[in-house]
Amino acid sequence: MGGSALVSILYYTFMYYLPAMTANATPVFVKKGKPIDAGKKFLDGRRILGDGKTYEGFIVGIYFGILVVSAYVVLAGDFSYFRWGVPSVIGALLGDMLGSFIKRRLNIPRGGKAFLLDQLDFFFGATIGIIFGGAAPSLYVISCGLIVILTLHVITNRIAYELKLKDVPW
């Protein structure tokens, strides 16, 4: 593989996943919100989603994610970025919620560690959203997204922890 092919893969990886990464990272600024599950418990007696998934966080994520997509639209003068960009943002947040749902079923408390699930729940949701929106990222781009997100997650969560935005460094 030539150097320019690698640059191209990296370029498309960030292009496709930046809106979703933004949507996934910005809800952390919501300190206290209204839990989406309204405090309700599932059949197993544990919270459906837990206090870490709030309406405010969802709205903030959608807002900043779509802001990034809007920047693409303005920069490229092409509205078609909304077609896959908006579903990728919504998919990321729904994927993150599904991740929390699975964690609660596994009896992992809010903020508890679930290796790979914590890092990749939003990535799978975003990928489904991108494809649902009619875009076709290559398998190289999707695999590269997986690696980039796993790496960035470690770094950004450490920063969020040091800034006291998160209680745990994962």
Give the binding site for ligand CTP (CB under 6 A): 27-28, 30, 33, 50, 52-54, 56-58, 93, 96, 100, 103, 110-112
Half-sphere exposure of 33 (CA within 13 A, CB side): 19
Provide the b/e sequence for 30-43 (b: ≥16 CB within 10 Å). beebebbbeeeeee
By beta-carbon proximity to ligand CTP, the closer residue of 94 and 135 is 94
Least distance from ligand CTP to the Cβ atom of residue 112, Å? 6
**Per-residue string for binding with Mg ion, 99-138, x by CB under 5 A?**
-------------------x--------------------
Q: Which amino acid makes up residue 25?
A: A
- Is the Cβ of residue 103 or residue 135 nearer to ligand CTP in the bound state? 103
Q: Which residues contact residue 18 at a Cβ distance below 8 angstroms, ignoring those fewer than 6 apart? A: 68
Sign of CA dihedral 52, 54, 56, 57: positive
Residue 3 to residue 11: CA distance in whole angstroms: 12
Nearer to Mg ion, 78 or 158 (CB): 158
In whole angstroms, the minimum distance from the beta carbon of 144 to ligand CTP comes to 23
- Residue 121 CB, nearest approach to Mg ion (Å): 9
Q: Judged by CB, which is closer to ligand CTP: 26, or 70?
A: 26
